A = this chain, B = another copy of it.
Amino acid sequence: MTGYDADVVVVGFGGAGAAAALSAAEHGVEVLVVDRDTRGGNTALSGGSLRLRPDVERAARYLSTLSLDRKAAAVHRSMLDGCRDLGGWLVRLGAEIEEMNDAFVTNTLPRVLASPYPTIAGSEALGPRFRVRGRDGQSGGDAVWELLRDAVLRHPRITVRTPAVAVELVRAGQGRVDGVRLREADGVHGVRARHGVVLACGGFEYDRRLQQNYLGFSLPAFGWPGGNDGSGVRLAQGVGAALWHMTSIASVLGYQLPGLEAAVRHSMPDLGYVYVDQECARFVDETGVDFHAIPMDLLRMNPRTFRRDRMPSFLVFDEATRAAGPIADTYLTPYRDEFRWSRDNRAEIERGWIAAADTPRELASTLGLDPDALAATVERYNAGAAAGADPLGRAAADMRPLRGPFYGVALWPCLINTQGGPRRDATCRILDPGGEPIPGLYGAGELGSMWTQLYPGAGNLTEAIVTGRTAGAAAAAALAPPAGPAPATGTVTPAVTDALAAFVADLRAGDLPETALRAARRCVLDQLGCAVFGSTLPWSALVRDYVRDEGSAPRALVWGSGLRASATLAALANATAGHAFEIDDLHAGACFHPGR
């Protein structure tokens, strides 16, 4: 790999990007991975659960029911096959893998059901959830991330450049993507990707305008602020990619807290709580609906008020639940190192993040809600809890009367991720609107994910690693086009050209330091050597014949012959000879002989 260039350039160093880099490198090519940082994207913040043992046939049917995109069957199939191969690969990288037991499911509130969509048959075909065991006993996405990251960093054929933000894809004449422009600390640079580019730079969790235009609304997100900003959508659009699954998101409930850009995950330590909307009405069985499905109730546009008037809704909980444990999960958040939520929620009450009051009426006032309405709702709920009956279907075992003091906080559907992006095929080639692959361009991960509207948990991380591996292998195997000039690293305006020309015209040998002169002499000699050999090749002779036939003023020597010609014609013949066997050196960025 010379300077910036690589065979495969991977944009994004999360799970998908890391897997793509490792897979491409396993196939023997040189890889460059770029990211704006090294925090590991959503991958490092994720729950870390993976599907490794799907029943492929049945799971394929299940995915086709979940998916409203009837044409994605080949993509589903390729992903399921990839799942079965994933465990072994992770183990070869050094992973210790554990199956998640049922306690995880039953102990978590809001609940993680066996299937988030219990009315849709077949979810068990995805197989159990697995995790990679982490160093400190924690087995979240950070464990997977550290495993992949370390494998990437120690691989001799992979280079990681950060901070480097991909700002544009570069295409060769034939439309093939063969480079990326990167914004780095010292400016924008072009990078050549001889085989291709893998886009693995995540969704648009942190671009509200893209959300507005593609989801129809915008939401708070859980990921690293400024991380996944929809770059991938824009990069792909710049080279004419088709987009797909643009309305698809994964969402769970969270809090938006003053001074924190990312949302903080809602999680309950005990059963003494309800959700109410802005009219103080309950609207969902809080404990019977899967945590990935509840946000659907909050997202809906009210067809009478024409507002999304359950954004936000409110969590109301009681004293016993306050004392039972934190109502937030801050381990897998960008703020992990800054603070932990207090065990009894007292610190957050003092900060004003949680409203506290002796009665539901007072709590309502503090939250800006109707006191009568909240009092009535709590009263009705308590009566139902005592009787073991709930109009919304909450299980009797999950209900008990709420007893003061009462606590409340605004509750938002928040983005785990967005899943839209460039459309890809089963081998992760990115397609144009006509369904044709864009040569040299590959996609992986949550950017242009296969999921449509119904996202089953543990589907994204698995997909990210599986599609990363597929995309990396496909890019590695892609035929590299003949060498050519690297993409320009900046726009040359006339004024700059003028200044450069004046500088060169004024330059005298005496102005140069001795080392530069020595290097220049070596370059000239090297080029001359290349040209002397090159002049013996048939194509050089063709050009020489043409120059001879022009019969121009005999001012300059045509190397490797006795011929003299005008300076321009001699330069044409000599340059042809110099490059004729492609043994001359090139400076990647500038495309001239650099002397190294």
Which of B238, B432, B552 sits near A240, CB closer than 8 Å?
B238
Question: Once bound together, how far apart are the Cα atoms of A284 and B303, in whole Å?
Answer: 9
- When C-beta atoms are compared, the residue in chain B nearest to A207 turns out to be B433
Per the 8 Å Cβ criterion, residues 283-309 of A in contact with B are: 284, 289, 293, 296-297, 300-301, 303-307
Per-position binary interface string of chain A over residues 6-50, scored 1 when its CB falls under 8 Å from any chain B CB and 0 otherwise: 000000000000000000000000000000000000000000000
Q: How far is the CB of A543 from chain B (nearest CB, A)?
A: 13
Of residues 237 through 269 on chain A, the ones whose CB sits less than 8 Å from some CB of chain B are 237-248
1/0 per residue, CB under 8 A from B, across A161-202: the answer is 000000000000000000000000000000000000000000
| Least Cβ–Cβ distance between A461 and chain B, in angstroms | 22
Contact between chains at A433 and B305 (CB < 8 Å): no
Q: A68 and B305 in contact (CB under 8 A), knowing A237-B242, A433-B234?
A: no
**A423 CA to B68 CA, complexed, in Å:** 27
Contacts of A306 in B (CB 8 A): 117, 119-120, 293, 454
Which residue of B is nearest A568, CB measured?
Answer: B550
Q: Which residues of B contact A243 (CB under 8 A)?
A: 213-214, 237, 243
Residue of B nearest to A300 (CB): B300
CB distance from A584 to the nearest CB of B (A): 26
Interface pair B305/A296, CB less than 8 Å apart:
no
Hey, what's the 0/1 contact readout for A208-222 against B, CB within 8 Å counting as 1?
010011111100000
With A303-B300, A306-B454 given, is the CB distance from A433 to B238 under 8 Å? yes
A119 to B297, CA, bound (A): 21
In this assembly, does A447 line the interface, its C-beta being within 8 Å of a C-beta of chain B? no
B71 touches A215 (CB 8 A): no
CB distance from A118 to the nearest CB of B (A): 9
Give Cα distance in the complex from A423 to B244, angstroms. Answer: 18
CB distance from A263 to the nearest CB of B (A): 20
- A569 located at the interface, meaning its Cβ lies under 8 Å from any Cβ of chain B in the complex: yes
Smallest CB–CB gap between A281 and chain B, Å? 15
Q: Which residue of B lies closest to A423 (CB)?
A: B213
- Closest residue of chain B to A230 (Cβ to Cβ) is B433
- A452 contacts chain B at the CB level, 8 A cutoff: yes
Write the nearest CB–CB distance from A77 to chain B, whole angstroms. 19
Judge whether A553 is part of the interface by a CB distance below 8 angstroms.
Answer: yes
Q: Which residue of B lies closest to A554 (CB)?
A: B551
Check A453 for interface membership: any CB of B closer than 8 A: yes
Q: CA separation between A307 and B77, bound complex, in Å?
A: 23
Q: How far is the CA of A291 from the CA of B550 in the complex (A)?
A: 80
Tell me, in angstroms, the Cα distance from A289 to B301 when the chains sit together: 15
- Asked if A69 is at the interface of the complex by the 8 Å CB criterion, the answer is yes
Instruction: Specify which chain B residues have a CB less than 8 angstroms from the CB of A338 in the assembled complex.
Output: none
Q: State whether A213 touches B69 (Cβ < 8 A).
A: yes
Q: CB of A549 within 8 A of chain B? A: yes
Contacting residues, chain B, for A303 (C-beta < 8 A): 284, 289, 293, 296-297, 300
Chain B positions within 8 Å of A247 at CB level: 214-216, 247
Q: What's the nearest-Cβ distance from chain B to residue A370, in Å?
A: 17
- Shortest A311–chain B CB gap in Å is 12
Please, which residues of chain B bring their CB within 8 A of the CB of A293?
A: 303, 306
Q: Flag if B237 contacts A433 (CB, 8 Å).
A: yes
| A566 at interface by CB-CB < 8 Å | yes
A549: chain B residues within 8 A (beta carbon): 553, 566
**What residues of chain B lie closer than 8 Å to A241, measured between beta carbons?**
237
The reply to whether A216 and B453 contact each other, CB–CB distance below 8 Å, is: yes
A288–B284 alpha-carbon span in the complex (Å): 27
**Beta-carbon contact of B245 and A213 below 8 Å:** yes
The answer to whether A305 touches B119, judged by C-beta atoms less than 8 angstroms apart, is yes
B contact residues around A304 at 8 Å (CB) = 119, 289
CB–CB B566/A452 < 8 A: no
Given contacts A293-B306, A306-B117, contact A209 B71 (CB under 8 A): yes
| Cβ–Cβ < 8 Å partners of A305 in chain B | 119
A298 to chain B, nearest CB (A): 9
Contact B453 A301 (CB under 8 A): yes
Q: Give the residues in chain B near A284, CB-CB below 8 Å.
A: 303
How long is the Cα–Cα vector from A549 to B568 in the complex, in angstroms?
A: 10
How distant is A525 from chain B, measured CB to nearest CB, in Å? 29
CA distance A566 to B566 in the complex (A): 12
* 4 pairs of A and B residues whose beta carbons are closest in the complex: A551-B553, A216-B247, A234-B433, A296-B303
10 A-B interface contacts by CB (under 8 A): A68-B212, A213-B242, A213-B244, A214-B214, A216-B452, A234-B433, A284-B303, A297-B303, A550-B568, A552-B566
- A residues touching B (Cβ–Cβ < 8 Å)? 68-69, 71, 117, 119-120, 209, 212-217, 233-234, 237-248, 284, 289, 293, 296-297, 300-301, 303-307, 420, 423, 432-434, 452-454, 549-553, 566, 568-569
Further contacts, 11 of them, CB under 8 A, given A119-B304, A289-B304, A300-B303: A71-B209, A119-B307, A214-B246, A237-B240, A237-B241, A243-B243, A284-B303, A293-B303, A300-B300, A552-B552, A552-B566
